[in-house]
Amino acid sequence: MRKRIVAGNWKMNNDLAETEVLLQELKKQVIPEKVSVLVAPSFTNLQHAFESLRDHPIAVAAQTMHQSDHGAFTGEVSAAMLKSVGVKTVILGHSERRAYFDEDNALLAEKVTTALRHEMTVIFCIGETLQERKQGHHVEVVTAQLEEGLFHISENHWQHIVLAYEPVWAIGTGETASPEQAQEMHKEIRNIVASSYSESIADKVSILYGGSVKPENAKEIFGQPDVDGGLIGGASLNARSFMEIVSAFL
Ligand code: PEP
């Protein structure tokens, strides 16, 4: 059985006090044993979140990191810095990083290599824009994102990889892929992994869906055979909505 994962990407929201309020609310909730739950606060709140969640099953992830170990990269944060405050998981390739910070597949390949060298788990995001989908290029785009950004890794690194399929047209727009569209792409992604690596690796990797997941649609999306959880943006900023999504697996 593949790992079921729900991760909340808080993006550039919540200062320290707001982070603490949300963490306290989350800590009151019962986390189902069969679901791994993560939250990704901003850099400034990672250490606080890690400490606050020390004896709690919710884990803390970072939203990005730099590909170098150290150096003159003003404003950036390295894998070692993340690990030094307890963070062992990093989201890489989020569409907002790709679109607003020019993170292309080649750069992401470097970040993946660095994260794995530091024994971090990577939630690797892929997904097509609306235009690419309308032109019927979605499979091609996602294949290139995987091949150029991720498929340089060795077979034994796959145990540290989680994939997140996030159609850009569904992120923060209120527009969700239908459960059938999500299943179709997740199956396709699994096939792409199988043909470049093996059926066994493809079968084991968790593939999360992201894009306007809410308590109202989570059950149907998570009910698809190749959907192993979700990467949640907006709805993860509210403890009750987030936990309803987490509980959609029950
Ligand atoms: C995301 O940012 O990864 C995301 C899926 O956002 P939202 O749930 O708000 O669409």
Point out the residues that are catalytic.
94, 166
Q: Residue 47: in which H helix or E strand, if any?
A: helix 46-52
Q: For atom 3 of ligand 1, which residue has the closest CA?
A: 233
User: Which residues have a Cβ under 8 Å from the Cβ of 227 and sit 6 or more positions away?
Assistant: 179, 182, 183, 186, 207, 208, 209, 221
- Report d(CA 185, CA 4) in Å as an integer: 18
**pTM exceeds 0.85 for this model:** yes
pLDDT tier at 205, thresholds 50, 70, 90? very high
Task: Give pLDDT, residue 175.
Answer: 82
Are 246 and 224 a contacting pair, CB within 8 Å? Answer: no
pLDDT at 230: 98
Residue with tokens 């919540």: 14
Per-residue model confidence (pLDDT) at position 118: 98
Cβ of 229 less than 6 Å from ligand 1: no
Banded model confidence at residue 62, pLDDT cuts 50, 70, 90: very high
* CA dihedral sign, ordered 154, 204, 232, 30: negative
Mean pLDDT of 1-29: 97
pLDDT digits (tens, 9 = 90+) for 128-183: 999 999 999 999 999 999 999 999 999 999 999 999 999 999 988 888 889 999 99
CB-ligand 1 contact for 91 (6 Å cutoff): no
Q: For position 123, what pLDDT does the model report?
A: 99
pLDDT for res 43: 98
pLDDT at 174: 82
Share of the chain above pLDDT 90, in %: 95
Q: Which of 221 and 174 is assigned the larger pLDDT? A: 221
Confidence check: pLDDT of 250 > 80: no
Q: What is the mean pLDDT of residues 38-59?
A: 97
Q: So what's the pLDDT on residue 119?
A: 98
| Ligand 1 binding pocket mutation candidate from 5, 6, 9 (most atoms within 8 A of CB) | 9
For ligand 1, say whether the CB of 9 is within 6 Å of any of its atoms.
yes
Distances (CA, A) of 95 to 100, 166, 208: 8, 8, 14
- CB 171 less than 6 A from any atom of ligand 1: yes
Q: What is the mean pLDDT of the chain?
A: 96
What's the CA-to-centroid distance between 211 and ligand 1, angstroms? Answer: 5
Distance 93 CA to ligand 1 centre (A): 13
In angstroms, the CA 62 to CA 10 distance is 10
